[in-house]
Amino acid sequence: MGLFFAWAIGESIIVYRWVKAKAPPAPGALLLPTGLFLGLAILSEYQPARSTATAFAYAVDLAILLQVVGKQPAQATGWPPPKIPATQIWPGGSGSATGGGSGSSAGLHIPSVQGSAISETQQAGGFLRGVIQQAFGKPFGA
C-alpha cells in the first residue's frame, strides 16, 4: 500500500504544477513517473527489496516536491491553443479561401464539372491537393 500512496502523492504534485501553469497535464508528464513507480512496484515484489523500493518512492516524491515548491512554472505550455478560423480545416494551414466554383467548401476549391471533361478522379485529386496545401501551407509537389 505504501507504493500506491507514494505514486498518488507524486502524481498529485505533478498535476498541481501543471494547474499552477494554467494548463492540463501532458500525458507524457504523467506517464514517466507512473512507469517509474510501476518499476518500483515490480521490484518490491521481492520481499527483501520492499522497504528499499518504498523508501526510494517517497524520496522521488520529495525530489519532485522540492522542484515544484516556491517556483513559478517556467515552461511555455501553449495552452489554451489558438482559435482556428472557420475557413481552415487543419491547424497551421493558410486559412485563406481560394474562392471559386459552386463546390467551394471551407476554403477549398473543387472545380465544377458542368459541361466540362473533368473526371471524378481529377476532381478528387484537386480536392486532395487543396487539403494538402491547407495542411502544410505550400502547394502540392513544391
Closest CA to 81 of 70, 73, 92, 71: 92
Q: Concatenate the DSSP letters of all residues of 35-94 into one string.
A: HHHHHHHHHTTSGGGHHHHHHHHHHHHHHHHHHHTT----S----SPPPPPTT-SSTTS-
pLDDT, tens digit, 9 for 90 and up, residues 9-49: 999 988 888 888 888 887 788 888 899 999 999 999 999 99
pTM, rounded to two decimals: 0.52
pLDDT, tens digit, 9 for 90 and up, residues 75-125: 666 677 777 777 777 766 555 555 444 444 445 555 454 545 555 555 555
Query: Which residue ranges make up each domain of the chain?
Result: 2-68, 82-142
Helix 27-43 × helix 2-20 angle, to 10°: 170
